[in-house]
Structure 1
Amino acid sequence: MTHPVCLTVAVATPTHSALSTPLSYASAQDWPPGQLLRVPLGARDVLGVVWDHPGGAAPDPGERSLRAVVEVWDALPPLDAHWRALVAFAARYYQRSVGEMALAALPPAMRTLNQEQLARRLAKLAPKAPAPRRRTAKASQATASETALATAEGSPAAPGHGADQPLAAREVPPALTLQQREVLQALSTQPGTFLLHGNTGSGKTEVYMQAAAQALAQNAHAQVLVLVPEINLTPQLQARFERRFGADAVVAMHSALTPAKRLSAWLRAHLGQARIVLGTRMAVFASLPGLALIVVDEEHDPSYKQQEGARYSARDLAVWRGHHAGVRVLLGSATPSLESWWASRPASPAAVDDGTSPAAGRAGRYTRLHMPDRIGSDTASAALLVRRVDMNHQPRGAVLAPPLLDAIGTRAARGEQSLLLLNRRGYSPVLSCSECGWKSTCPHCSAYRVFHKGDRSLRCHHCGLASPVPHACPDCGNPDIQGLGRGTEQLQEQVQALLSDMRRPDGSALRIARLDADTTRLKGTLTAQLDQVHAGEVDVLIGTQMIAKGHDFRRVSLVAAVQPDAALFASDFRAPERLFALLMQAAGRAGRDAGFAQQPEMWVQTHQPAHPLYAALKTLDYAAFADGQLTEREQAGLPPFVHQALLRADARTQEAAQGFLLAAVEALRDAAMQQPQLAPLLDAVYLYPAVPLTVQRVAQVERAQLLLESTSRQALQRLMHAWQPLLHRTRADKAHKALIRWLFDVDPLGI
């Protein structure tokens, strides 16, 4: 008689719950690690993953019996060891449960499927034999052309895109510049992680595609992962990859897809049918059995850091995944993150090691590559001119400086386009009453509701609460309530009036459009608006940071930042880095086609024209700015020279949130007195006092945090791991029943 075996199964249980480790289930037969199956959990059947386990017989009849596996999805190959290692590392490093991390990495639609439904999905993905057709002279000529093209690319022509076929290019690649060839040569001859510091317009995307082609040509089963920071950058990049490699070879993974499409993309990647996976941060967990190359575009972007649930950094996990799998990782940006810039520092033999810096003189763990020149920058007209406009010397209340208005009109008359950057959407950030001081605060959050004039609403951008604009002040009845500050909606209205007398080359009025999260909410609107810009149907485009990232606007010759000063005085030490990156990225939209720009320009309207950040922007010298910022951070003891984590608490009241954090610290210190191994960790990690978050209440939930900081990443990790059981016990105390949840945020981007 065959005895059942005990399987260790990872299921979705959060770290702050009592069930934070894989669970045991009885199975009629042993299944390999990585096998997907359904198991009972409470009153439900849930999706699970067989986790690495030694296997063994079920407990004796005298012991509590194990619940049995419901069904096994044996039609799917198991998730491989590299994928499980990635999930296990992410769970360990970001202080989450393995099951929570593993199941969050799978498509949501997969959690509701049963075995029969999965079989139908797989049947739709099964390759179909091509129908026989008559061979014409035209078809023969096309086949010969494909063969010649594939041969030119260094790989044989392939009739299809299956995993057992080499991938042939569909579009003839352009001639490469010298710096592109040098970068590709370095990629093909050296292992490891590379930071490609390429100025906007230098051809980084072409390098990505050529590197992908090289990786795919070396192995018929190879796959490439390309990460982009935001959903709105996915369609245009996907279109470029599809033109080059064919639509069947490329799949996209991001949250804007329907559940069915996300599931289909994941299955095609897992089965090896998709050769190129292009997606946002979630795609870093894609199951790619043939992974050969990872590309992270705009690697500096904070969107790669998940801000809800398991707070992982997709960029950092991509680097770890590439190192563990032994594949190259290419990080690309015109304004790299300071962490990556520091990690790619060259060796400095002349540096004096005084013992105060453990990395003095040593090279970083990444290889830094440079592409400083724009394609076509051999012409004198291609040099970007940065102008600082001192708004202290402009007419009071001026929206745009008169010289900037003239420059926009001159360029529009030549058929060129201008971009106006204002990183704040809505009409006004707040409505206010001048009589009694009432402001449009959100009743559920410690934030203001933003005035949107288009639909006459007040909207909270934190909890989503929306309500009609009152006809008078709710407190005193004053009918004269006014907006404070300016958003993109108001800027569009004001610019429309300021440019009303200016004309296009055909004599018609200028066409002004706005691109932000409000104008692109409906499906297809983003693509439609971008198509209008590319077609030259827009003369002035106003938008938030959405317009500054990755778009190839060929007709844009002037970019202006309208109100960038606020970030100069933010309490977040990363604010200067983010502002400089945003302005550099925005500047890169100008002059991408010399045929549309005799002299591309970047205008910055500021009340602080002498600020060092703007001085560095004037010369477009990212290296000087980054080195200066790193010097300041080293002196101040800030990342990347120290390592940080936040212990967050969400509760019904601020007192309850901070009370839990204080009790957790006391529990840790008490444990250190009883467990000698904890004392050195407490000495190596500094615990700051508990404080409210900047926006301390969101959707009626109060939020508090406690900062942990250490020069030793290992000590910080060990302390958090040792703290976990103490946090569970503190959470179970009746004194903290008002607590909703607690979590660790490792390597936080905002404090």
Structure 2
Amino acid sequence: MAPQEVFHAAGGQEQQERAAREVRQRAILRVAVPVPLRRLFDYLPPAGMTSEDCRPGQRFWVPFGKRSLVAVLVDVVDDSPFDELKPALERIDSHPVFDQRSRQFLQWAADYYQAPAGELYAAALPVALRKGKPADYWAEQWLELTTEGKGLPETALARAKKQQALLQLLLSCGRQSRTALNARGLNSTVCKALIERGLARWVSGPTAPPPIENAEPKPAPDLNDEQQQAIDAIRFGSFSASLLEGTTGSGKTEVYLRLMERALREGKQALLLVPEIGLTPQTLRRIAARFPDFRIAALHSGLADGERARAWLSAASGVADIVIGTRSAIFTPLPRLGVILVDEEHDGSFKQQDGVRYSARDLSVVLAKRAGVPVMLGSATPSLESLHNALSGRYQHLHLRHRAGNARPPQISLVPTLHQQLQEGFAPQVLRHIGETLGRGEQVLVFINRRGYAPALTCDDCGWLADCPHCSSKLTLHRRQRHLRCHHCDYRMREVHSCPQCHSRNLNALGAGTERSEDFLAHTFNQFPVIRVDRDTTSSKQALDRLLEPARNGEPCLLLGTQMLAKGHHLPRVTLVVIQDADGGLFSADFRAPERMGQLLEQVAGRAGRGDLAGHVLLQSRYPEHPMLQLLLNKGYGAFARQLLEERALTQLPPIRAMALVRAECEEARWAEEFLTNARHYLEALAPPSPQLQYLGPVPALLERKSGRFRFYLQITAEKRGLLQQMLARFCAWAEGNKNRRLRWAVDMDAQELS
């Protein structure tokens, strides 16, 4: 090339580089800000930074009105519809906390649930990171092998036993934190020896999750044929969705553990979602006992802010091998994701009921598909949505029809209570069975789905009722705490001993809650401990675990509690289960009530006879001849659920059709109702009612007033979910123009509650 051509080429290259620098300097940060507006916001990079310093997934402090908020960088663009942009204030993270797959997944969820992306990103972050704490704050030193070290055989350092042990550990389990190495007795001297040989090096990274206490390694039990078939049906390396329908005590957890093992063997991460915080400690111990050499992170609201942030970062960085968490764990970035497992998939706890109203169960299927991994939904009482997907072929339907080991299904008996003289809600023959069971040295579980002493307090002279001043509900008497409490808004007032209306002292506590039943049972069976399990006795961390310890040790005792006792507990010495009131859900205005009733009765009954001893279940009912109860008892939950699906098909309700609720609440009932009336007119103009699209409302919620606000909803059911999504997207843009700041509105896609 001639010198002049070289000069021109060089000059052209310089111009291109200068133009590229100008583009980079003009780059715009498109961020998700945690505000209730369904759009992203544009900012310039912080002073002194170019786009090369800003990577999607990082967090920034940004000015928003008079506040500074933590925003997540979603994209870097070179154009904005706005002429004047403010610069972001400060970059928080040196590395992204959300990878590309997580960002795309969160955007999909925001679009599907018609939610502000900024609020969804905020919901995905643990509280400490939501408040702007740098991710590097929890960094620690890790020892990892160099390229040369990775190429060595495990026996390369056989003459130096400690160095050999360290080399084997790093080759088999990957990099190790300084804390973990110290716990294994591999001190800095041994590490230094490998570093000086050029075989290892220290790097900075997220803190490893702490080891699980009281988890003694245990061998895997033998599988029965059904368990083996369920495991063999799952193909790793590609997406599949499976429903594992297994009777209570059939060994579903063992199937989860075997699938985890396969994922870990391939160097992947396993995600297990559980419905309740209370189930986490026992599940953690069981998993840690099976996988003592792997790192396990727990994610739930019972953790301290720092503890949860460390666990989240260890999962998001790929340090944690197994992640177990409640609903919000579905949003945790998992770079090595290999399998997703959802235990008790029917449980309503997987659906967020305020803020961003998402379903972790449904999102688990979406995430698995986007990541190309298998997902398994497990339950003894599958939700009608999952069962419908399995019966229509969208999910693989797997069965565990028999209990594991020598356990057999319990005998179930209905106890009619109409025209019977009850003692504090218990029939005489039920009390006799409880005494006989305890006398044999066995355990009894009594299920009462009402906490407190009594659900109502009334005056027998003038008829006064203790109502909540803020909600359409009665105050529950809590005699131990000496107050009346609303279980919806948590309003409390001191216990009254005379009627505030007529001043009579003839007050009557109506009905029985767990507290009242505890007093009665403790007095009646005073030689045996009564363990009450409800929200009042399990408010502190690890409380449920401590309460259940005597029962796990096999001591004869009487367990008394609410739904917290119905989920996932394995108590082999419980041989008698008493359900004080089996009629809940038979006459509710909520079309989902019979489904929930059937699930709850089956789950509670499933706590009986899980060991070698036979189990017996007593269901007290005022309506023992009710056809739904008879179907459940005589044919089982499978036939019961299929009957409900046939009814849903006739009424064209979910899961046969998609359903969304537009909710509105306000201190003035007429404003909420008027807003939804206008919303219906707007939506009907977009898509008139037809056999494929139906509207209902606005109607009052089942709990019409809560926390001083009147609540209404507009129900929309559609044959095609796509049409519903298009309508709701346009509705949200219209509704954001609402000027009444005292009115709140929300879209609840795939709503689970009418209350």
TM-score, structure 2 normalization: 0.85
**Alignment check: 8 A CA contact 2:533 2:564 kept:** yes
In structure 1, how many angstroms separate the alpha carbons of the residues matched to 2:745 and 2:553?
Answer: 50
Deviation at 1:668, TM superposition (A): 4.0
The aligned counterpart of 1:693 is 701
Distance 1:682 1:260, change over 3 A: farther
1:206 and 2:254 are equivalent in the alignment:
yes
Answer whether contact 1:512 1:538 (CA < 8 A) is retained. Answer: no
Partner residue in 2 for 1:725: 733
Superimposed CA distance per residue, residues 665-698 of structure 1 (whole angstroms, 9 cap, x where no aligned partner): 33445xx3xxxxx346888432212122121222
Amino acid of the structure 1 residue aligned with 2:71: G
- Does the 8 Å CA contact 2:424/2:520 hold for their aligned counterparts? no
Q: Aligned match of 1:549 in 537, 557, 567?
A: 567
What is the aligned partner in structure 1 of residue 126 from structure 2?
107
Distance, in Å, in 1 between the alignment partners of 2:554 and 2:368 is 41
Matched, 1:21 2:39: yes
Q: Distance in 2 between matches of 1:557 and 1:470?
A: 40
User: Retained in 2: the 8 A contact 1:7–1:50?
Assistant: no
Q: Equivalent residue for 1:608?
A: 623
Paired position in structure 2 for 1:429: 455
Which protein has the larger Cα radius of gyration, Structure 1 or Structure 2? 2
Partner of 1:506: none
Which residues in structure 2 correspond to 1:109-258 (within 5 Å)? 109-113=128-132, 117-123=134-140, 126=142, 157-158=172-173, 171-188=218-235, 191-218=239-266, 220=267, 222-246=268-292, 249-258=295-304
Quickly say closer, same or farther: Cα 1:247–1:416, change in 2 above 3 A.
farther
Q: CA deviation at 1:611?
A: 1.8
Quick check: 1:5 aligned with 2:26? yes
Does the Cα contact within 8 Å between 1:281 and 1:314 map onto a contact in 2? yes
Q: What SS does structure 2 have at the residue aligned with 1:519?
A: coil
Is the 2:29–2:42 contact (alpha carbons within 8 Å) kept by the matching residues of 1? yes
Mapping for residues 181-580 of structure 1, pairs under 5 Å: 181-188=228-235, 191-218=239-266, 220=267, 222-246=268-292, 249-345=295-391, 363-377=392-406, 382-392=408-418, 394-396=420-422, 399-500=425-526, 509-537=527-555, 539-580=557-598
Shift of residue 465 of structure 1? 1.3
Bigger shift: residues 610-619 or 486-495: 610-619
Residue deviations 1:428-476 (CA, integer Å, cap 9, x gap): 1110011111111011212111001112210111111111111200000
Question: How many angstroms does 1:364 deviate by?
Answer: 2.2
- 1:530 positional shift: 1.3
Distance 1:738 1:69, change over 3 A: closer
Instruction: Name 2:749's counterpart in structure 1.
Output: 746
- Please tell me the residue identity of whatever aligns with 2:550: Q
Following the alignment from structure 1 to structure 2, what is the Cα–Cα distance between the partners of residues 278 and 396? Answer: 44
* 1:706 correspondence with 2:714: yes
Query: Is 2:672 the counterpart of 1:650?
Result: no
Q: CA deviation at 1:489?
A: 0.9
Specify the code of the residue in structure 2 equivalent to 1:6: A
- State the one-letter code of the partner of 1:206: E
- The answer (yes or no) to whether the contact 1:668–1:726 under 8 Å persists in 2 is no
Whole-angstrom distance in 1 between the partners of 2:128 and 2:650 = 49
Could you tell me how far apart the structure 2 residues matched to 1:180 and 1:107 are? 36
For structure 1, which segment, 476-485 or 65-74, has the greater mean C-alpha deviation from structure 2 after superposition? 65-74
**Alpha carbons of structure 1 residues 205 and 396: separation in structure 2 relative to 1, 3 Å:** closer
CA-based RMSD: 2.9
* Residue in 2 that maps onto 1:661: 676
2:116 corresponding residue in structure 1: 97
Equivalent residue letter for 2:396: T
Does structure 2 conserve the Cα–Cα contact (< 8 Å) formed by 1:36 and 1:76?
no
What is the CA–CA distance in structure 2 between the aligned matches of 1:580 and 1:373, rounded to whole Å?
19
- Aligned counterparts of 2:75 and 2:741: Cα–Cα separation in 1: 36
Report the Cα distance in structure 1 between the residues aligned to 2:269 and 2:264, rounded to whole angstroms. Answer: 7
Instruction: Give yes or no for contact 2:239–2:369 (8 Å, CA) kept in 1.
Output: no
Report the 3-state secondary structure (helix = DSSP H, G, I; strand = E; otherwise coil) of the residue aligned with 1:300: coil
SS in 2 for 1:693: strand
| Shift of residue 590, structure 1, vs aligned partner | 1.0
User: Quick check: 430-439 or 680-689, which moved more?
Assistant: 680-689
Check the 8 A contact 2:243/2:378 in 1, yes or no: yes
Q: Secondary structure at the match of 1:388?
A: strand
Letter paired with 1:490: R
Matched residue type, 1:392: L
Q: Aligned-pair distance for 1:404? A: 2.1
* Matched position secondary structure for 1:376: coil
CA distance in 1, matches of 2:223, 2:27: 57
Q: Separation in 2 of the partners of 1:66 and 1:296?
A: 44
Structure-2 change in CA distance of 1:82 and 1:118 (3 Å): closer
**C-alpha distance in 1, partners of 2:112/2:314?**
29
Instruction: State the distance in 1 between where 2:427 and 2:567 align.
Output: 25
- Give the superposition deviation at 1:170: 5.3
Q: CA contact under 8 A between 1:684 and 1:715: conserved in structure 2?
A: no
Go from structure 1 to structure 2 and tell me whether the alpha carbon gap of 1:136 and 1:258 turns closer, same or farther (over 3 Å shift). farther
For the structure 1 residues 170 and 214, does the alpha-carbon distance in structure 2 shift closer, same or farther, using more than 3 Å as the test?
Answer: farther
Report the AA paired with residue 260 of structure 2: A
Aligned residue for 2:652?
Answer: 637
Contact kept in structure 2, 1:431 and 1:483, CA below 8 Å: yes
- The offset of 1:34, in angstroms, is 2.2
Native 8 Å contact 1:516 1:546 kept in 2: yes
Q: Are the aligned partners of 1:656 and 1:738 in contact in 2 as well (CA < 8 Å)?
A: no
Q: Is the 8 A contact 1:647 1:705 kept in 2?
A: yes
Cα contact 1:648–1:703 (8 A) shared by 2: yes
Q: SS of the counterpart of 2:60? A: strand
Asked if residue 36 in structure 1 is aligned to residue 59 in structure 2, the reply is yes
Go from structure 1 to structure 2 and tell me whether the alpha carbon gap of 1:665 and 1:191 turns closer, same or farther (over 3 Å shift): closer
Do the aligned partners of 1:435 and 1:478 also contact (CA within 8 Å) in 2? yes
1:356 is aligned to none
Between 1:609-618 and 1:291-300, the stretch displaced more is 609-618
Give, in whole Å, the separation in 2 of the partners of 1:338 and 1:212: 26
Give per-residue Cα distances to partners, 1:166-220, cap 9 Å, x unaligned: x9x95421221221111111113784100000111111111111101101111x2
Deviation at 1:7, TM superposition (A): 3.0
Question: Residues 232-266 of structure 1: CA distance to partner in whole angstroms, max 9, x if unpaired?
Answer: 11111011111222386111111111111111111
The one-letter amino acid paired with 2:95 is: L
2:181 maps to what in 1?
Answer: none
Question: What's the CA shift for 1:100?
Answer: 1.5
Q: Does 1:627 align with 2:675?
A: no
**Does structure 2 retain, via aligned residues, the 8 Å contact 1:13–1:20?**
no
Equivalent residue of 2:584, what SS?
helix
Counterpart-to-counterpart distance in 2, 1:49 and 1:566: 45
Whether the 8 Å CA contact 1:343–1:364 is kept in 2: the answer is yes
Structure 2: any 5+ residue segments left out of the alignment?
1-17, 146-156, 178-204
Give the secondary structure class of the aligned counterpart of 1:689: strand
Q: Percent identity?
A: 37
Q: 1:388 to 1:143 in 2, by over 3 A?
A: farther
Q: Distance in 2 between matches of 1:56 and 1:464?
A: 50
